[in-house]
């Protein structure tokens, strides 16, 4: 018996649940990158990047291409780039909503009663 679709989706999103993996996918959404390029763009240790690339390979999201001693990576499916664009749009909407809520809260803050000090260093 195979796993339910919702469980597979949860595993898929767990794979995306690391900042380095997201950054790798964002860069590969633009074009193929050599590992050396990814290292300089992301700024992590080579061993850490290698681990994260292995996770993405096992998930079937990226594919390596060897050319001599250099290894480059690309996305296996252009819809990964679309998923990242949709996530950015959703996040922008959420943050906009939060900024509006913060502005509303700040505009309705009660005034400090006379004789009491407001927040700040004492």
Give residue 117's region: left, alpha or beta (phi > 0; psi -120 to 50).
beta
Tens digits of per-residue pLDDT, 15-66?
Answer: 999 999 999 999 999 999 999 999 999 999 999 999 999 999 999 999 999 9
pLDDT reported for residue 105: 86
Backbone angles phi, psi at 46, to 5 degrees: -60, -40
Tens digits of per-residue pLDDT, 62-114? Answer: 999 999 999 999 999 999 999 999 999 999 888 888 888 888 888 887 766 66
Contacts for 53-58 with beta carbons within 8 Å, 24 or more apart?
A: 53/24, 55/15, 55/18, 55/21, 56/15, 56/21, 56/24, 56/25
Q: So what's the pLDDT on residue 20? A: 98
What's 18's DSSP letter?
Answer: S
Q: Which fold has domain 1-105?
A: Arc Repressor Mutant, subunit A (1.10.10)
The CA distance from 60 to 76, in Å, is 7
Specify whether the CB–CB gap between 41 and 5 falls below 8 A.
no
| Domain boundaries, given as residue ranges, for the chain | 1-105
**More confident: 1 or 36:** 36
Q: pLDDT at position 60, please?
A: 96
Residue 13: its pLDDT value, please?
94
Q: What pLDDT, on the 0 to 100 scale, is given for residue 115?
A: 64
Q: Reading across the β-sheet that carries 33-34, which strands appear in turn?
A: 33-34, 70-75, 62-67
């Amino acid at each position: 018996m195979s796993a339910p679709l919702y469980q597979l989706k949860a595993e898929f999103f767990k794979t995306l649940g690391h900042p380095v993996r997201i950054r790798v996918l964002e860069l590969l959404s633009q074009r193929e990158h050599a590992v050396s390029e990814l290292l300089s763009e992301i700024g992590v240790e080579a061993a850490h990047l290698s681990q994260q690339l292995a996770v993405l390979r096992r998930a079937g999201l990226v594919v390596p291409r060897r050319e001599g001693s250099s290894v480059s990576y690309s996305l296996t499916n252009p819809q990964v780039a679309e998923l990242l664009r949709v996530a950015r749009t959703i996040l922008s909407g959420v943050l906009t909503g939060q900024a509006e809520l913060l502005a509303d809260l700040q505009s309705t803050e009660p005034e400090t009663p006379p004789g009491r000090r407001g927040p700040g260093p004492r």
